[in-house]
Every structure is written in structure tokens, then in C-alpha cells.
Amino acid sequence: MRLDKMLSDMQIGTRNEVKKYIKSGQISVNGNHRVAPELKVHPGEDTILFRGKEICYEAYEYYMFYKPKGCVTARNDNLHKTVMDYIDSKRKDLSPVGRLDRDTTGLLLVTNDGMLSHKLLSPAKHVEKTYEARIRGRVTKEDVLLFQEGLDIGDETPAKPAKLTVLKEGEESLVHVAVTEGRYHQIKRMFHAVGKEVLSLKRLSMGSLKLDSTLKPGEYRKLTKEELLCLKMPEDIEC
């Protein structure tokens, strides 16, 4: 790939800034400082230095993001702050994997790995997503059974069976609910179908990836090698 594109992808600067660095001799390729922006380089084979520090190319980036309330799961929005406004990266191909409602908080994966995104979102893969929800109304054992059977939420087909776990029962209940679909406002509609109202919703996990308890809303970090390996494991192999 072109030297200037590789350096720009790795957040050294914009393409114009990178060209200035190259022209001023701040970039070297295999020890040679007299290089051109259009020089074809081979990441992983060529040694590329910026101000004496080696630049290692990463084709894909993976971030765990704790989505705060009020943030829109989109690349751009004229009215609200988006997920991408929080991620400090110059890469233009990063996108959130799936969507969370504006008032839903919790785990989002942000990456430019299209194959992994497809694996996690494809209905055929049945990737489980777990949420914590505060519910107005007493969640009962009958509700648990109804969720297990699959609920009619007004679509052409009922929602697939979901696992509902009651953590605290009362006039305001606390629950965990695990689903393998991503329908529009699905969990809110499921509870509405049993006469309850969702007061707050937070995603805790997506497949093997669990929200880091040390992150605060609006914070993010890169995935660890172990987390990424587990996400990419075949469906029939447990991590």
C-alpha cells in the first residue's frame, strides 16, 4: 500500500500532514529517509520509522465502548452526540457493531472489521446479547415462561425465545434478559407485551464480550488479544 495512506491509517496525521513529514525527512523506510508519499510499502516486512519510532500497521482496530445515555449509535448526527464523537481515531472506516437506542447504555463494539461485524449481527449466528433492565411492575415467573416461549411483539413473526432472569422483584423489578435477535426496540416491546414498562436498559454482553466494569459511560478501550480471539472463535467452540 502507499506509504502516505499507511501512515494516515495509523493516525500519524492527515494525508497532507504525512506528506510534510515525509518531505522533511521525518519518515524512513528500511533506513532510507529519501522516500516519496506514493512509495509502495509492505507492512510487516518493511521497517517504517517516524521520528525514530517504528510504526506497526494494524489493518483492523477493535474498541469496547461504554455507550452513555443520550448518545446516538451512528457515525454522524446533526442533533446529538454520536458514538464516533467519543472515539479518538483518525480512521474513517470505524463503525459501531449494531445499534443501541439513544436512551440505552452499555456495551458497544466499534471496529472496521466487516467480517466480524457480520458474524455478530447475522440472525443465522444466534449471537446472544445480555441486558440489565429496570422494569416498572412486578416481573413474575409467568413472565419468565412467556419470554422462554417467544412473545408476539406485533411483527409478522413472534420474537424468538429469550432468557429472563429476575434479580429483584417488586413494584420496580431488576432483571437480566438475553436475546439472540436485534429487532427495533425489541426488549421494550417484549415487556410491553406482558404489561410492563422498561425504565432503563443497559447492555452487559455481546457473545463472549463483556462490558469492562472499570469503564465509565463515555469511556472506551482497545480489546485485549484474548477478547478478540474469543469473539472470532467458531460458534461450536466455547472460549
Q: What positions carry a catalytic annotation?
A: 101
In Å, how far are 38, 86, 202 from 106, measured between CA atoms?
A: 42, 14, 5
Cβ contacts of 5 within 8 Å, gap of 6 or more: 15
Residue 140: which H helix or E strand, with range?
none
What is the three-class DSSP state of 227? helix
Amino acid at 116: L
What string of DSSP letters covers 117-182? Answer: HHHHH-GGG---EEEEEEEEB---HHHHHHHHH----SSSSPPPP-EEEEEE-SSEEEEEEEES--
Report the 10 Å Cβ neighbour count for 212.
16
At position 102, the amino acid (one-letter code) is R
Give residue for cell 469503564. 215
CB-based contact 210:239 (threshold 8 Å): no
List Cβ neighbours of 58 (8 Å cut-off, separation of 6 or more). Answer: 10
